[in-house]
Amino acid sequence: MRVARHGNLCTTMSRNRCGLLPVRISGIALACIAGKRLACEIGAFAISARTTSQSCGGDVLTGRSHTFQRLRAQSLAVVAAPTEADVERDFEDLADRLKDASALEGIGGLLGWDEMTMMPPGAAQARAAQKAALSSVIHAKHTDPILGDILGRLRSSSDSLDKYKQATIREAARAYKKATAIPDDLVRREADLESRAYQGWVKAREEKNWALFAPLLKEWVALRQERAVLIDHLRPAYDVLADDYDAGLTAQRVTEVFSSVRDGLVPLLQDLRSKGVKPDDSWLKGDFDTGEQAKLCREVSVDLGFNLERGRLDTSVHPFTGGAHPTDVRMTTRFKHDDLTEGLTGAIHETGHALYEQGRNLEFDGLPVNSAAGMAIHESQSLLWERMVALSRPFADYLLLKLQASFPDVFSKDHTAQSLYESLNTIKDISLIRVEADEVTYPMHVILRFEIEKGLIEGSVDVDDVPKLWKEKMKEYLGVEPADDAQGCLQDLHWSMGAIGYFPTYTLGAMAAVQIFNAAKREIPNLEEAIARGDFAPLRSWLNEKVHKLGSLHPRADDLLQAVTGKALDPDEFLKYLEAKYRTIYKLA
């Protein structure tokens, strides 16, 4: 370590200077504790000057003093402008510390995955304690004062480093500022509540009873409000929380974008339902063996590029992607006997997340620059594969053959890829469940959740009133009301994890997916023909180079979109895509 090198060097130089070793050791210790660079040349020359003056008289001392002052000024200049070697050593120290914390976070990822897939319910209390203890250890690493000292030096002297290292410093400094605002006690309480609330949500969902979950959500709202104030009491609390999922995201920006989307989708949805010719999707309903569904989903995920040597696919109450590392990516989906599309589209959606994770650049393994560029971009990758690819006309050519092989009694040779494409893109008359929603109604589900969770954090919505408000907004936005809480306000796990501020990233990600896929079509020759024959490598490789490997090189999602597509997020491009696609399918074009 840098402190050890300074200490050893100065101590060695001082050993021949009788009587002064304790003074130099003390000076070194104080300087190193303060996290400052120490110019050893000053110390060595100061000792030499004092020793010589004692034997040679005052004239020599005076000459030495002038020379000492000159060298001291030069050395201080060196401190103010560290060498490239100094900067590289600091970065190596930073990287080592960040990688240690990342490895511990990977353990936390496995604990979370196990809790949602394999853990017996009786272990919930023990798991909560385990996660709280681990979170405390990780928090201590994230808030280590030495880490702060290193970042302080690097932030003012990183010009000689490449752009990936500079981005690592930027992201690490951003995380350090947030982490140091949060006390260990709050970290432990959040980790404990995460386990308790998840188990409570599962039980409440099973019993269709919001009242069982409401006390836990009240705890989450209070903890999230506390966190937001600690991080930045001058900013709106919701903005502080949303920034955890997408850097720079604000409620005002979300409101502006969502207002534009809502204004465009409401008349489109009305036209499709009242004037359009709805495709026949009845042949997609039936009794589909879940074992066969799981086998089909596994085959499709592998075809898309999911590497089973570095990941696995399981089932859970709510589909998600997690794991410990890009070489250990865990994703889940769920199945219904009477609905083939939920398990399939869910698996493809999570495969999009998994491809992003498996495609991260291991050259920067364990460093924040290798993390995703926010959750809106992460969702753009899952939704790109689920919607831009899996719900496209070319993909229907590939998928129909898979369906005929898996369920020959349902998907006969008489069915066509065109009819499959149209049936998969039917607008639901009753759109109750977000993860089952079609492309047109989906954004309204997200807008509803954003408005409610924003109200919870701001204090304008009471937790006990959520079921009533949920039904009112569902009726207003989608023309339906859930029959119970499981179909309504208990359908998502996000609030049980304290993930308040996450929901907007779904629709922001859907918009980004359209822009990114349109850019891919412009740059990849014959892309749609490749998709039709089941060759997904060209698109996957393009995404890996343009998005996955870049990680958090760009500070914000809009910066990445600018680099990949030539412009920041554009709601109009999203609306034009939906208008063109669905007016054609519904014969309104």
Q: Return the active site residues.
A: 350
- Number of helical (H) and strand (E) elements in the chain, helices listed first: 24, 3
Q: What is the DSSP letter of 460?
A: S
Q: What CA–CA distances, in Å, run from 221 to 213, 458, 495, 522? A: 13, 10, 9, 45
Q: Which residue, 307, 303, 326, 348, is CA-closest to 530? A: 303
Q: What CA–CA distances, in Å, run from 138 to 97, 98, 192, 325? A: 11, 10, 15, 16
Q: What is the DSSP letter of 123?
A: G
Q: Which residue, 539, 528, 516, 431, is CA-closest to 481? A: 431
Strand partners, 322: 330
Question: Residues 305, 536: contact at Cβ < 8 Å?
Answer: yes
Q: Could you give the CA distance from residue 501 to residue 276 in angstroms, rounded to a whole number?
A: 36
φ/ψ of residue 107, rounded to 5: -65, -40
Question: Residues 583, 589: contact at Cβ < 8 Å?
Answer: yes
φ/ψ of residue 563, rounded to 5: -70, -40
Question: Residues 401, 299: contact at Cβ < 8 Å?
Answer: no
Single-letter code of the amino acid located at 484: D
Q: Which residue has the tokens 């003056």?
A: 53
